[in-house]
Amino acid sequence: MVMTSFPNPETASQIGTQLVKSQLAACVKAIPGATSIYRWKGVVKTESETIGLIKTTSAQLEELESWLQDHHPYDEPEIIVVDVAAGSAGYLDWVRGQVSG
């Protein structure tokens, strides 16, 4: 699973749809209403963001990261990979079946 953030729900929906259509992701869960507090270029900022949870396979991680780097609106998008140690067999099979590669 890849965690990222988007500036708003609309961008999350647009990118999520493209990822699923291209079979880089089986599902993208967009969770609006997050508040991010961070330092960027020496300035502390507080922004409203939408969290994206991208369900993919390890075989697609490199291509997914490259795609996000090219298409994400942020200069340096958050791309954090979380290994899935376990999950329901049916759901994980479905993820593998939806993602190419």
What is the C-alpha to C-alpha distance for residues 42 and 2, in angstroms, rounded to an integer?
27
* Domain count along the chain: 1
- Tell me how many helices (H) and strands (E) the chain has: 3, 4
* Of 6, 3, 1, residue with least CA distance to 72: 6
Q: What is the mean pLDDT of residues 82-89?
A: 94
Q: What is the pLDDT of residues 64-74, one digit of tens each?
A: 999 999 999 99
The per-residue b/e assignment along 6-21, b for 16 or more CB within 10 angstroms, e otherwise, is beeeebbeebbeebbe
Mean pLDDT of all residues in 82-95: 95
The answer to whether residue 7 scores a pLDDT higher than 80 is yes
- Give residue 48's domain range: 2-98
pLDDT in tens, 13-33: 999 999 999 999 999 999 999
Distances (CA, A) of 56 to 30, 34, 37, 42, 84: 15, 23, 27, 34, 10
Can you give the CATH number for the domain in which 6 is found? 3.30.70.120
- The answer to whether residue 101 scores a pLDDT higher than 70 is no
User: Which residues lie below 8 Å from residue 2, measured CB to CB, with a gap of 6+?
Assistant: 52, 53, 54, 56, 61, 64, 65, 68, 79, 80, 81, 82
pTM: 0.93
pLDDT for residue 96: 95
